[in-house]
Amino acid sequence: MSLHIIILPSRGIGMFVWGLLSIGQMVFLPGYLVLRTFGGARRGMASTWICVFNLSLLLNFFMVLLLTVGGFYTPIATLN
């Protein structure tokens, strides 16, 4: 299996697509990876995606919380 990277232009519709990808990464990817890794209970499709959504938001919250408390998430870090 090969990995294909699509380079999109940085203006116009390209920025919109990058925004959609970032929202998808924030809202679905962490929860999906955790459920796949730890073998979440097999449920219906709707309840699985609801669980993925909620788990992703919780993981993002705790990651930002830990980075902030640990001193890694500073105003200078967000400017780079």
Query: Would residue 72 count as lying in a domain?
Result: yes
Query: Would residue 54 count as lying in a domain?
Result: yes
Angle (nearest 5°) at CA 38 between 61 and 57? 15
Query: Would residue 6 count as lying in a domain?
Result: no
Q: CA 40, CA 29: separation in Å to the nearest integer?
A: 14
Angle between helices 13-27 and 29-38 (to 10 degrees): 40
Query: Would residue 5 count as lying in a domain?
Result: no
Query: Would residue 7 count as lying in a domain?
Result: no
The pTM (predicted TM-score) of the whole model is: 0.67
How many domains is the chain partitioned into structurally? 1
Query: Would residue 37 count as lying in a domain?
Result: yes
Domain residues for the domain of 18 are: 13-79
Q: What is the structure's pLDDT at 9?
A: 56
Query: Would residue 45 count as lying in a domain?
Result: yes
pLDDT over 70 at 1, yes or no: no
Q: How does pLDDT run across 10-69, given as a tens digit for each residue?
A: 566 677 888 888 888 889 999 989 988 887 767 788 888 888 999 999 999 999 899 889
Residue 57 contacts residue 32 (beta carbons within 8 Å): no
